[in-house]
């Protein structure tokens, strides 16, 4: 006897699905049978990931989307509706960051980091929530341990991610009665194209790994596995939670 995760019939929207953690999430949900809208600022990246899913027998459409722009979000969701149907799994994964001392942070940095990471996630959630409620579905937000414990040189980003924790819990309370579960995954340092600058600045993956009880930094699949759980029927009575997926680095 075995337990299988079957998401066939589900329609997932994954933001930032064109790279790193989002790519692993999109691919993993597709492998479990979900039809996946791969949304990314980069049309080229979204197209590459959606094509890879389709080439391996899955169902996917690429969506060019700037989560910071509500008009772009609505247009991409309209395309998703036309091609795949109503969203049952929303994965808010796209974010923006700058790595610099707080005293050097410019108003433009603040506008971009808060505008994409926090306001962008709110934009997508507002646009997709009617679908997710209709489908009694799931919302999973990619947060960051920086939002739970703080991170030097990433203060504005950490503030935006801490905001996402409040958003996750508040929406979970609002829509729990309608059968929707809202949770967050909070990655530790993970080897991705976007994470490479931080890893280098911190002295490299091997040096960072020494601080991790499980002896290594994360791989995108580590995070995708947790998102798969929160997307699946195995997650049946959990909402408003933020799970650190960080090899034991953060134990809160």
| In the complex, least distance from residue 15 CB atom to ligand NAD, rounded to whole angstroms | 5
d(CA 93, CA 231): 14
Nearer to ligand NAD, 176 or 193 (CB): 193
225 membership: H or E segment, kind and range: helix 220-231
Q: Which residue has the tokens 């039809």?
A: 35
Nearer to ligand NAD, 16 or 247 (CB): 16
Q: Which residue has the tokens 């600045």?
A: 201
Number of residue whose CB is nearest ligand NAD: 194
140's CB contacts (< 8 A; 6+ apart) are 89, 90, 91, 92, 182, 183, 184, 185, 227, 230, 231
Sheet (strand 242-245) strand order? 59-64, 35-40, 11-15, 89-92, 138-142, 181-187, 242-245
Choose the binding region for ligand NAD from 36-44, 55-63, 101-109, 176-184 (rule: CB under 6 A): 36-44
Nearer to ligand NAD, 93 or 183 (CB): 93
CA nearest to 58, candidates 91, 95, 23, 33: 33
| In the complex, least distance from residue 189 CB atom to ligand NAD, rounded to whole angstroms | 4
Choose the binding region for ligand NAD from 39-47, 102-110, 175-183, 227-235 (rule: CB under 6 A): 39-47
User: Which of 60, 183, 192, 231 is in the footprint of ligand NAD by CB under 6 A?
Assistant: 192
Percent helix, strand and coil across the chain, each to the nearest 5: 50, 15, 35
Q: Which residues pair with 60 in a beta bridge?
A: 36
Question: What's the DSSP call for residue 3?
Answer: -
Site for ligand NAD in 109-128 (CB under 6 A): 116, 120
| In the complex, least distance from residue 74 CB atom to ligand NAD, rounded to whole angstroms | 14
Nearer to ligand NAD, 28 or 190 (CB): 190
| In the complex, least distance from residue 103 CB atom to ligand NAD, rounded to whole angstroms | 22
d(CA 154, CA 53): 33
Active-site residue, from 97, 153, 157, 198: 157
User: Is 212 assigned a catalytic role?
Assistant: no
d(CA 217, CA 44): 28
Q: Annotate each residue in 41-80 with x if it binds ligand NAD (CB under 6 A) or - if it does not, as one string.
A: xx--x-------------------xxxx------------
d(CA 97, CA 233): 33
Q: Annotate each residue in 1-30 with x if it binds ligand NAD (CB under 6 A) or - if it does not, as one string.
A: --------------xx-xxxxx--------
Asked if 144 is part of the footprint of ligand NAD (rule: CB under 6 A), the reply reads: yes
Catalytic residue annotation: 157
Binding site for ligand NAD (CB under 6 A): 15-16, 18-22, 40-42, 45, 65-68, 93-96, 116, 120, 142, 144, 187, 189-190, 192-195
């Amino acid at each position: 006897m075995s337990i299988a995760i079957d998401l066939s019939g589900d329609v997932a929207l994954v933001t930032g699905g064109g790279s790193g953690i989002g790519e692993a999430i999109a691919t993993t949900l597709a492998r479990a049978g979900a039809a996946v809208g791969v949304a990314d600022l980069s049309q080229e990246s979204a197209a590459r990931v959606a094509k890879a899913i389709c080439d391996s027998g899955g169902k996917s459409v690429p969506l060019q989307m700037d989560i910071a722009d509500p008009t772009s979000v609505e247009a991409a969701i309209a395309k998703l509706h036309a091609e795949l149907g109503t969203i049952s799994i929303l994965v808010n994964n796209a974010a923006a960051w700058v790595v610099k001392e707080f005293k050097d942070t410019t108003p433009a940095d603040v506008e971009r980091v808060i505008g994409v990471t926090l306001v962008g996630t709110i934009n997508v959630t507002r646009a997709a929530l009617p679908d997710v409620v209709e489908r009694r579905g799931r919302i999973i937000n990619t947060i960051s341990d920086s939002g739970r414990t703080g991170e030097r040189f990433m203060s504005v980003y950490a503030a935006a991610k801490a905001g996402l924790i409040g958003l996750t819990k508040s929406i979970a309370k609002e829509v729990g009665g309608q059968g929707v579960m809202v949770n967050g995954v909070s990655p530790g340092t993970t080897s991705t194209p976007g994470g490479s600058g931080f890893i280098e600045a911190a002295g490299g993956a091997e040096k960072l790994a020494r601080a991790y009880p499980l002896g290594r930094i994360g791989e995108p699949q580590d995070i995708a596995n947790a998102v798969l759980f929160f997307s699946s029927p195995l997650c049946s009575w959990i909402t408003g939670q933020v799970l650190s997926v960080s090899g034991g680095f953060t134990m809160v």
